[in-house]
Structures are given as structure tokens and as C-alpha cells.
Chains A and B, each alone.
Chain A
Amino acid sequence: MKKVKALILKTAGTNCDYETQTAFELCGAAADVVHINSLVEKKNKIFEYDILVFPGGFSYGDDIASGKILANEIKNKLGDKVKKFSLSGKPVIGICNGFQVLVKMGLLPDPELFEQTSTLYYNDSDKFECRWTYFKIEKKIRNESSCIWTKNLPDVITLPVAHGEGKFISINDKLLEELNKNNQIVFRYSTKDGKTPQYPLTPNGSVEQIAGICNTKGNVFGLMPHPERYVLALQHPSREGFDGKYGWGKIILQNAVDFVK
């Protein structure tokens, strides 16, 4: 059977690349960590891959704003290739800093438009927030959303977050309505029993507790929590997991690998 290939894009300050590579390998993919400079040199190399991953970290030291410099670089040097890859329907994921990159270059929520219409702004606390929290995946989302990354998840999952700029804000209420109507808001911060949380379970003050969104087609997905940090039960503080040994993050990444197969 064909081995699914994932491209994990790194640059100065990316620090979750190898952890993400290991997580995708656990899901059966062949994952390569590729520096942006080498991709810019051979732009079409992107199409040798089945999954495109923008991992977490502090690209360019979070200078100016988180993800801003990398978003600017990708848009100006690789924009047409990244857009084409996304519109082809292949899975694309942005995790934490990668999510910030996706919204700031405009690949989310609408890769066809490819213009920034939302942002991830400074946490309400003006602090870096790092903890395990809960995420609600509504039944409606699981049944009606086309998001390929969130299939087979239970109503509420737990994952760790670690960010200073995670407050999701859309350009206007109309966009927010559309995201809701199209079931593009796939992850919301929640309590353990799926209720609306208070700080610190909602770490940043996101509008409508938004923690993750996808495009209407469901292949491009961005989220603030780190699925790669919970692929094994061993990574959980209480060693909780499913099937005795896996974490919820594995289901998310496995969904993309299985989709390509």
C-alpha cells in the first residue's frame, strides 16, 4: 500500500516539528521536516506530499505578532503553491503557531479568497497560557461538518494548549454567522462536561470560545491546542487515553492519514 507522505514545514523558531513528525509516523505516515528555504528553492516539491503541516512553535521569535512573518513569507514566496495544494482537497493542518500562520495569510477560513478575514490576537490575560483544557466537538459538527480531521472524536476531548496569542476574532459578525452556518467552527473551549467554560479553561477570551476552524471543504484545519502532544496515553498527566495507550490527538492526525489512503 502507498505510504502517505506528510510535509512538516519548519523555519527559524519552529519547535514542534519533530514531535509532530513522530506523531504522524505513529499514524503510519512518512513525515519529512522541510525547511522553508529548501521549499522556496524547489517550490513544486510540495506536490510530492499528501498532507501539509504548519507545526507549532515561535516562528521568527513571534516578532511583530505570532505567525505574522512566516505568513508574510509564505504568501509572497509560496502563496500560489500553498493555495493550489489546499484547493486540491489534500489535508492541511496548522497547529497553534501554524494556525496563526494560516489565518494571517488568509488560508483560513477561505483558501479560495486567500485574504486575511480573521485573526488570533493577544490573550485577554496578556500572558502566555499553558495548560490542559477541554474541547467540545458538537454532535452536529461531527455529523454535518465536512471536516476530515475531527471524525470519530467523542463530544468532549482534552488537549494541551500553550500560547500567548490565541484569541480568535473574525472581521465581522457576518463571517462569524457563516462559520457557524457552515459548521466550520469544529473546536470550542469547554468544561469537562461540555459546558461554556470560564478562565482558565478558556485560556484567551476567544469569540464564541472558538479553538479550531476548518474551510468549507473540510480539508484545511487550524487549531490552537496541540494534538501532537497527546498521541499516547503516556503524555497525559494521569496517563488517560483510549484503547489503553493512545491520546485524542492521534485520532485527529490519523483521520488525515486514513483520508489520503
Chain B
Amino acid sequence: MFEIEIFTKEGFKDSRGEHVLSKISEVEIKGITKVDYASVYIIDGDINKTEAKTIASELLSDKITEKFEISSNSDSKKSKSSVIEVLYKKGVTDTVSESVIKAIKDLGITKEVRVKTGHKYYLHGNISKTVLDKIAVKLLANTLVQEYKIK
């Protein structure tokens, strides 16, 4: 299983991260200095690292403005910032994943894959778990259909 994260490259405006930061200040939460946004694609199936890299570079990221990071389930990632990950709950149709599966086949990778899509928000600053929960529920996740994890 590979987790592919897509970030905006340095030097380009991370509109989504900035938008979330401004929403956080609107609800009067203080102490957060920056938010970095990453879209997340979890790809499960019989694909190897080279194929995961092709999917990330040719399909999931924009060559001009974005960069990607690939981790497999054996990797343990440590981040200096607090991370809120938002994914669909089990049983909720993930329409983007269906498009990604089709597009992977268009790329010429015909192996069966399962895909989950989501969002990661890297919050920089001094933030308590209670505040992270508040941000997740109030601003980032629709808890009717999505679940979130704080990492």
C-alpha cells in the first residue's frame, strides 16, 4: 500500500492552506502561524514503487506547481507540525477514487488497485489536542460522511 501526498511547491501560493488559516482566525483560534495543505491518495494493490512514482508524477501531481511524497505502510512518518487527516468513512462513496482508478488504467497500469482519497492539513504553531479537535470538526471534516485523525 502506498500513500501519496501532493503538496504545492515552494514559491507557489498554497491557496487551500491559506484559506484554512484565514478560516481558523475567523473562528478566533489563536497560535497557528501557517497551514500547509496536501491532497492524499492511498493506493492499495499489486503495484510496485516505480508504478506508484509514475502515478504520482504523471497523474496526481502538477509538474509545474506541485511536488509529491510517497510512503509505504512500513514507513513511519514524523512531522514537526500537527496533522489533521480527513478521509471518507467506510461505506461512503469516494467518487474521486473512482476517477483515479479509471485514470490509472488510462496510464497503462492495468493491475487492480483500490484507492482512497483524502486531505491532510499540517498546522504549524502551538496547538492543543482540544483545539485541533475543534478545528477538525468546525472547519475541516463533515463528520456525517468523513472521519478525521489527529497525528
Contact = CB atoms under 8 A, between A and B. Distances in A.
Chain A bound to chain B? yes
Interface of A: 60-61, 63-65, 68-69, 72-73, 76-77, 104, 116-119, 121-126, 169-171, 205
Interface of B: 12-13, 15-16, 18-19, 58-60, 62-65, 95-96, 99-100, 102-103, 106-108
B107 A76 contact: yes
A119 B63 contact: yes
Contacts, number: 67
A190 B65 CA distance: 25
Kindly name the residue among A64, A77, A104, A121 whose own CB sees the greatest number of chain B CB atoms within 10 A: A64
B102 A69 contact: yes
A170 B106 CA distance: 26
Contacts of A118: 64
A63 B59 CA distance: 11
| Complex A-B, nearest 9 residue pairs according to Cβ-Cβ distance, in ascending order | A63-B99, A126-B15, A126-B19, A119-B64, A63-B96, A122-B15, A73-B106, A69-B103, A60-B99
Contact of A64 (B16, B18, B99, B108): B99
Kindly name the residue among A60, A116, A117, A123 whose own CB sees the greatest number of chain B CB atoms within 10 A: A60
Kindly name the residue among A117, A119, A205 whose own CB sees the greatest number of chain B CB atoms within 10 A: A119
Given A121-B12, A124-B13, A72 B60 contact: no
A256 B106 CA distance: 31
A118 B62 CA distance: 9
A77 B105 CA distance: 11
